[in-house]
Amino acid sequence: SPPAIIAPSILSADFADLGRACSTTMGQGADWLHVDIMDGHFVPNITFGAPVVTKIRSHVDRPTGAYGRGTFDCHMMIAEPKRWVRDFQKAGCDLYCFHYEAAVSSTAADTPAGTSDAQTSPKELIRFIHELGMQAGIAIKPKTPVDVLWDILENPVSEERPDMVLVMTVEPGFGGQSFMASELPKVTALRERYPELPIEVDGGLSEKTIDQAADAGANVIVAGSAVFGASDPGEVIQKLRDAVEQ
């Protein structure tokens, strides 16, 4: 598997002091920051948009390469993922991770009847994200089967292939929910086919659930409440890392 990457979700940080929370969690050993963008349509909750990302970006050093320390991993839980690519690139997003479900349903809305191809939109979106110099991630919700990803991952055109897959282990929308072990077979199937692919898990990750996720093959670990709710967040980050590296 690729190296362990621990990405605290700042959804559970103090929104009134977000810049400081970002630099503090980096100082406690985080690799990336996981930035949850919610629009109140794709998920039943609203967080913040590109202007806030611009402000917090200055509190964390930019990464020097792909997957580097300080990567802003923007998890776009939004209905129109293509619409916001440029704004988030300008704001300092390094990895733009959109939802498969949102890309496919925006294709259906924008394309004349009969011409829509469920697989076309994710590919075009990935190409567009790459053209703007960001890494592209694709996320799937619990109800979405992993099989929808095979065509996208097997695309011979490298510009249209995702740099990471995010397997949600809760229904997106809120922090602090219970981990859904039922989603781990998706991770196992992805890891069997793609030994080098960064695979992220998000939702309910903690010292209690990390071993299952790591055994399945996840290497990018998002944790919100487990990190920001801990008395020693640095210790939690280290334990998550040790579990993946074992």
One-letter amino acid for residue 111 of the chain: T
Q: Is 17 a catalytic residue?
A: no
> Residue holding tokens 């939802």?
99
Task: Tell me which of 202, 219, 227, 237 binds Zn ion, using CB under 5 A.
Answer: 202
Nearer to ligand DX5, 164 or 226 (CB): 226
Q: Does 172 bind ligand DX5 (CB under 6 A)?
A: yes
Nearer to Zn ion, 160 or 205 (CB): 205
What are the residues facing 206 on neighbouring strands?
Answer: none
Q: How many helices (H) and strands (E) does the chain have?
A: 10, 8
Q: Annotated catalytic, 151?
A: no
The verdict on 34 binding ligand DX5 (CB under 6 A) reads yes
| Secondary structure, 3-state, 96-113 | EEEEHHHHHHHHHHHCCC
Q: Kindly state whether residue 204 participates in binding ligand DX5, applying the rule CB under 6 A.
A: yes
What single string gives the DSSP state of each residue in 133-158? Answer: T-EEEEEE-TTS-GGGGHHHHT-S-G
Q: Is 116 annotated as a binding residue?
A: no
17 is in an annotated binding site: no
CA 202 to CA 168: how far, in whole Å? 5
Interface residues for Zn ion in 19-58 (CB under 5 A)?
A: 36
Looking at the DSSP assignment, which residues form a beta bridge with residue 164? 137
Nearest to 93 by CA among 126, 138, 128, 56: 56
- The CB-side HSE value for 6 (13 A sphere, CA atoms) comes to 28
Interface characters, 184-203, with ligand DX5 (x: CB under 6 A): ------------------xx
Least Cβ distance, residue 174 to ligand DX5 (angstroms): 6
Considering the rule CB under 6 A, would residue 176 count as an interface residue with ligand DX5? yes
Note the residues at the interface with Zn ion (CB under 5 A): 36, 75, 202
Note the residues at the interface with ligand DX5 (CB under 6 A): 9, 11-12, 34, 36, 75, 170, 172-177, 202-205, 222-226
Residues carrying an active site annotation = 36, 202
Query: Known binding site for substrate: residues?
Result: 9, 75, 173-176, 204, 224-225
